[in-house]
Amino acid sequence: MIHWKGALYVPSTKQKNLVIVESPSKAKTIEKYLGRNYHVVASLGHVRDLPKSQMGVDIEHDYEPRYISIRGKGPVIKDLKKEAKKAKRVYLAADPDREGEAIAWHVSHLLGLDDNDKNRVVFNEITKDKVKQAFKTPRTIDMNLVDAQQARRILDRLVGYSISPILWAKVKKGLSAGRVQSIALKLVIEKENDIKKFVPEEYWTIESTFKHGKDKFKANFYGLDGKKAELKNNDEVQAVLGKVDKKKDFAIDKVTKKERRRVPAAPFTTSSLQQEANKKLNFKTRKTMMIAQQLYEGINLGRKEGTVGLITYMRTDSKRISKVAEAEASKFIHEEYGEPFAAIKERQDKNQEGAQDAHEAIRPSSVMRTPASLKDILSRDQFRLYSLIWSRFVASQMTPAVFDTMTVDLSQNGVMFRANGSKMKFEGYRKVYQSTSETTKKDNILPELAEGDNAKLQTNDPAQHFTQPPARFTEASLVKALEENGVGRPSTYAPTIDTIQRRYYVKLNGKSFEPTELGEIVDHLIQAYFPDIVNIDFTANLEDELDHIEEGKEDWVKVVDRYYKPFAKELESAEDKIEKVQIKDEPAGMDCDICGAPMVIKMGRYGKFYACSRFPDCRNTKPIVKEIGVVCPVCKKGQVIERKSKKNRIFYGCSRYPDCDFVSWDKPVGRDCPKDGHYLVEKKVKGGRQILCPNGDYEEDIQK
């Protein structure tokens, strides 16, 4: 504090309590809540870690880690020490998880704080009441949490720093391997192998239109003589149609009416948030976590409320919520939507097997802060993610949606058709939220039909189909697969997926992951020589053991030893047996325009490119571009080529750049608009693709 004395500033000698958090935005939010007796500063994440230049783990002496101050953190550490010296008391308020506990422990060590001091403060949401309440009950640093984080960090270092040099020597510089990333890569490659092995099978359906009185409805072929039957080819279809007498009516044999209730989904965990944000908002997992962190650490809501954390902690695998949050949601739903929409029974959501359940589910810190009330304050992406979290949580506290369903069986000469209909009877939670799987489903209302009635066959529409191969992984489905296999924890999914893309082990084709040649080579080597690393059960069991360390049931040194010793034997064998892998350069079919030597196609960090075969004597390189067969609509000389932006988004430009500066996000089609002569483009629109004039004067549907 600074006080006035005449015309001079006199610094206050009163000591303040020092609070250390990880990020400046979090520091800013918390300092406003705690008031003038507290000074809150940020460590900017970890301050100590294992050295980058060496292993940093003494294997011979109980895997003792050699921590050093992180390069570039000198000024931050100096400021922390300076502030700590003059502070009345130091509090460590890093995030409420293993990583946060480890950060608090490292900061405590650097500042020379007493390990027995009750200086660790944790809170699951950054709101005034929760923060003040947490400072009333500080605790000592939980060494079980620290040891669990240390065990993971040390094992990952032992694996990564042992395998990576082998990959560098035998395959290519700059490669890496790790426990979770190796399994993520393995899953992508196994899926690709399943797709390659897939043999499509032919099958047919018959959708028919029936008429009952004045009403028409559709039904599908179901079976023969009361038993379900599949149609494998056109001959079988014709045999079925041959049994049908078009002059005779179909008898309505059975009408089944039921009331079906659909229960709302639980509030978000880290995994389900990443999946739904990817599907609904097209967010990458890293982007989802970055925006969620902003919402958690605090947003300035103006003079009335100041800076407030809008959601609870976003790294969690639990579906439970607090009684206070339940009560507030119930009050809000009663007032906003009415009593019929408010859930009567308390939810009992079962967590994923192996969940730590350390924090409650992701929810708004106050349900009264509706997305609409924050629209002018939040950025577009913050608003979209907050709306998703808010609506999912509110819906989870609402009543089920109720549907009237109707199943109708019709038959003639032993040929059976079935019609299914449904109609929403009561919206329930769907008034607020629908998952991606629900938004595509529409009511199918059947006319009033009764057993014993007849219906006349109007038309038959046989259709040939082929079974489809399994879908490639998207970010959402890969996160789901990692979680279902018990590999990694909520905090690891985003960096794992980011790593396998940065190493060019996988690439995105649209929204789907495809393995690269480099990824397949690395996966083959790891599977052949380090089978435990890509053994899903082995890695999932390790996650359980890390949980046991956190609970104080296991010693971290014994756990690391148990996992490292078999790996060390594999390592010893691999160094002798692995032969150098040659990634063959493909001929490019053209000569270098500098030295005249043949050009080849090489594999780089960001994909394939053209390079001179005389490298390193000649360093000429060129990007590989894809012509789309269209002449540039601006200069009429160059070819339009497909390029990629820094964010991997496809755009189109002229091959004569920079002489011609034509560029377009939409694909030119090589024709001009019949109305104004402007070039036409192909554009994705709701429901398909269209050919459009950028000036908006012309459009035509693309024929499928």
Query: Given a cut of 80, is residue 92 above it in pLDDT?
Result: yes
DSSP, collapsed to helix, strand or coil, labels residue 148 as helix
Give the model confidence (pLDDT) of 188-243 as tens digits. Answer: 999 999 999 999 999 999 999 999 989 999 999 999 998 999 999 999 999 999 99
Residue 76 pLDDT level (bands cut at 50, 70, 90): very high
d(CA 283, CA 436): 14
DSSP, collapsed to helix, strand or coil, labels residue 691 as strand
Supply the mean pLDDT for the chain.
Answer: 87
Query: Given a cut of 50, is residue 367 above it in pLDDT?
Result: yes
Residue 136 pLDDT level (bands cut at 50, 70, 90): very high
CB 354 within 8 A of CB 540: yes
Q: Any idea which residue has 């590989």 for tokens?
A: 624
Residue 435 pLDDT level (bands cut at 50, 70, 90): confident
Burial call 4-22: b when 16+ CB within 10 Å, e when fewer: eeeeeeeeeeeebbbbbbb
Residue 538 pLDDT level (bands cut at 50, 70, 90): confident
10, 348, 367, 533 from 271: Cα distances, Å:
53, 19, 22, 23
Residue 358 pLDDT level (bands cut at 50, 70, 90): low
% pLDDT > 70, the chain:
92
The pTM score is 0.78
Residue 356 pLDDT level (bands cut at 50, 70, 90): low
430: which DSSP letter?
A: G
Burial of 596 (0-12, 13-18, 19+ CB in 10 A): exposed
Least confident of 74-83, 409-418, 485-494: 485-494
Q: Give me the pLDDT at residue 606, please.
A: 59
d(CA 460, CA 645): 49
458: which DSSP letter?
A: E
Q: Give me the pLDDT at residue 1, please.
A: 40
The catalytic site residues sit at 313
If you average pLDDT over each of 370-374, 535-539, 567-571, which comes out highest?
Answer: 370-374
